[in-house]
A and B are shown apart, each in its own frame.
Chain A
Amino acid sequence: MSLDRPLTRNVRADRSPTNMAAYEANGGYQGLRAAMGKMAPADCLKTIQDSNLRGRGGAGFPTGMKWSFVPMDDTSDAPGPNKHKYLICNADEMEPGAFKDRLLLECDPHQLIEGMILAAYTIGADVAYIFIRSEYVVAIALLREAIAQCHAKGYLGKNILGTQFSLEMHVHPSAGRYICGEETALISALEGKRANPRAKPPFPQVSGLWGRPTIVNNVETLCNIHHIIERGAQWFQDLGLTSDAGTKMYGVSGRVKNPGCWELPIGTPIREILEEYAGGMEDGYKLRGLLPGGGSTDFLVEEHLDLAMDYDTIGKAGSRMGTGTMIILDDKTCPVGFVKNLVEFFSRESCGFCTPCRDGLPWSAQVLDDIECGRGLPEDLDTLARQVTFIGAMGNTHCALAPGAMEPLSSGLKYFRDDFERHIAEGSCHFHKEVHS
Chain B
Amino acid sequence: MSENLIAALSEEEIAEIDAELAHVPIPAGAAIDALKIVQAHRGWVSDESIKAIAQHLSMSAAELDGIATFYTLIFRRPVGDKVILLCNSVTCWMKGCDSLQQNISEQLGIGMGETTADNKYTLLPMTCLGACDKAPVLMVGDDLHENVSAQSIEKLFQTGVGEQ
> A: which residues have CB within 8 A of B?
81-82, 93-99, 101-102, 133-137, 170, 173-178, 189, 191-195, 210, 251-255, 259-261, 295, 325, 327, 330, 333, 337-338, 341-342, 345, 348-349, 351, 436
Give 1 or 0 for each of B50-91: 1 = CB within 8 Å of chain A CB.
Answer: 000000000000000011001111100000000001001111
Q: Hey, which chain A residues are within 8 Å of B88, CB to CB? A: 341
Known: A97-B91, A254-B94. Contact between A193 and B67, CB under 8 A?
Answer: yes
Known: A175-B71, A254-B91. Contact between A210 and B131, CB under 8 A?
Answer: no
Q: Hey, which chain B residues are within 8 Å of A94, CB to CB? A: 127-128, 130
* Chain A residue with the shortest CB-CB distance to B57: A192
Q: Is B9 an interface residue (CB 8 A)?
A: no
Q: Hey, which chain B residues are within 8 Å of A345, CB to CB? A: 89-90, 127-128
Known: A99-B132, A325-B132, A341-B89. Contact between A192 and B33, CB under 8 A?
Answer: yes
Indicate which residue in A93, A98, A101, A176 contacts B71 across the interface (CB closer than 8 Å): A176
Q: Is the Cβ of A93 less than 8 Å from the Cβ of B72? A: no
Q: Is the Cβ of A135 less than 8 Å from the Cβ of B130? A: yes
Q: Is the Cβ of A176 less than 8 Å from the Cβ of B72? A: yes
Indicate which residue in A99, A191, A195, A341 contacts B90 across the interface (CB closer than 8 Å): A341
Q: Hey, which chain A residues are within 8 Å of B127, CB to CB? A: 94, 96, 178, 345, 348-349
* Chain A residue with the shortest CB-CB distance to B64: A192
Instruction: Known pairs A96-B127, A102-B131; list 20 more (Cβ under 8 Å).
Output: A99-B131, A101-B130, A135-B139, A135-B144, A174-B73, A175-B72, A176-B71, A177-B71, A178-B127, A192-B24, A192-B31, A194-B70, A253-B133, A254-B91, A259-B134, A260-B133, A325-B132, A337-B93, A341-B93, A345-B128
Q: How far is the CB of A239 from chain B (nearest CB, A)?
A: 24
Q: Is the Cβ of B130 less than 8 Å from the Cβ of A189? A: no
Counting chain B CB atoms within 10 Å of each CB, the highest count among A133, A175, A295 belongs to: A175
How many residues of chain B are within 8 Å of chain A by beta carbon? 39
Q: Is the Cβ of A81 less than 8 Å from the Cβ of B25? A: yes
Q: Hey, which chain B residues are within 8 Å of A175, CB to CB? A: 32, 35-36, 71-74
Interface of A is mostly: loop
Q: Is B38 an interface residue (CB 8 A)?
A: no
Indicate which residue in B24, B73, B94 contacts A176 across the interface (CB closer than 8 Å): B73
8 sampled A-B residue pairs with Cβ under 8 A: A97-B90, A98-B130, A98-B132, A99-B130, A194-B66, A253-B132, A259-B135, A327-B132
Q: Is B30 an interface residue (CB 8 A)?
A: yes
Q: Hey, which chain A residues are within 8 Å of B128, CB to CB? A: 94-98, 295, 345
Indicate which residue in A210, A251, A337 contacts B132 across the interface (CB closer than 8 Å): A251
* Chain A residue with the shortest CB-CB distance to B39: A175
* Chain B residue with the shortest CB-CB distance to A194: B70
Indicate which residue in A96, A254, A333 contacts B89 across the interface (CB closer than 8 Å): A96
Q: Hey, which chain A residues are within 8 Å of B96, CB to CB? A: 436
Counting chain A CB atoms within 10 Å of each CB, the highest count among B33, B133, B139, B144 belongs to: B133
Q: How far is the CB of A388 from chain B (nearest CB, A)?
A: 19
Q: Is B14 an interface residue (CB 8 A)?
A: no
* Chain A residue with the shortest CB-CB distance to B131: A99
Indicate which residue in B29, B72, B129 contacts A177 across the interface (CB closer than 8 Å): B72
Q: How far is the CB of B40 from chain A (nearest CB, A)?
A: 11
* Chain A residue with the shortest CB-CB distance to B94: A333
Q: How far is the CB of B56 from chain A (nearest CB, A)?
A: 13
Q: Is the Cβ of B130 less than 8 Å from the Cβ of A255? A: no
* Chain B residue with the shortest CB-CB distance to A338: B90
A437 to B30, CA, bound (A): 49
Counting chain A CB atoms within 10 Å of each CB, the highest count among B67, B73, B91 belongs to: B91
A173 to B131, CA, bound (A): 18
Q: Hey, which chain B residues are within 8 Å of A173, CB to CB? A: 36
Q: How far is the CB of A199 from chain B (nearest CB, A)?
A: 19
Indicate which residue in B67, B130, B132, B139 contacts A259 across the interface (CB closer than 8 Å): B132
Q: How far is the CB of B158 from chain A (nearest CB, A)?
A: 24
Counting chain B CB atoms within 10 Å of each CB, the highest count among A192, A193, A295 belongs to: A192
A175 to B67, CA, bound (A): 10
Q: Hey, which chain B residues are within 8 Å of A192, CB to CB? A: 24, 28-33, 67
